Amino acid sequence: MLARHGAKVALADINHAGAEAVAARINAEFGANTAYAYRLDVRDEIQWIDVLAAADSAMGGLSVLVNNAGIIGPGNIEELSFADWKRTQEINVDSVFLSVKYGLKYLRQNQPGSIINMSSIAGLIAAHNMPAYNASKTLRQTYSEVREQEVVDLVILVDDGSRDETVAIARTLAGMQVHVHEVNKGYGGNQKTCYRLALEPERTS
């Protein structure tokens, strides 16, 4: 999606071979040096520092940062181990903190900059058998709101045909751009719209 709009992309994942395979497909379609692949354990602070610096250097700047890592720690609160709880928070929450903490300086150098934090309805509606996931998604949402107060000019909300008051509430918030899918396009469709709008910050809904 991003490469199709003319962007260079850096793919970072703990599955380095998988990231390299996707980068190779992007380069085959859009030309050499369009995509780069890096190994990144999103829980590792040093790896974040190194990967962001490498991506910025390879692409001649970094202006969009997408946080899409996430896992589910299944089991109710009595069944879930403390180790699984901590691992879920490290991947779903700590990774966002690390990416924004060390990515902001690159985005400031390449304005306009966009940070896209992928979340889910689990941040608003809890499931009894996914306490770690629910908590992490709520924290991600809250963290995004805090970041808005400090460095973000615009927050983009893409609503996938919801039937609650999400859109009405979002339209009352300052600095919020709302885009509505009349029908649910699914996770992938929602992501594509988010990416498109983030790359076109002047667009209005």
38 tagged catalytic: no
DSSP 166-205: HHHHHTTSTTEEEEEESS--HHHHHHHHHHHHHH-TT---
Q: How far apart are CA 105 and CA 150, in angstroms?
A: 14
Q: How far apart are CA 140 and CA 150, in angstroms?
A: 16
- Cβ atoms of 20 and 47 closer than 8 Å: no
**What is the SS3 assignment for 38?**
strand
* CA-based nearest residue to 157, from 149, 146, 168, 147: 168
Where does the chain show beta strands of DSSP type E? Answer: 9-13, 35-39, 64-67, 114-117, 155-160, 176-181
**Which residue in the list 36, 38, 106, 133 is annotated as catalytic?**
133
Q: Which two tokens stand for residue 6?
A: 């003319």
Which residues are designated catalytic?
A: 133
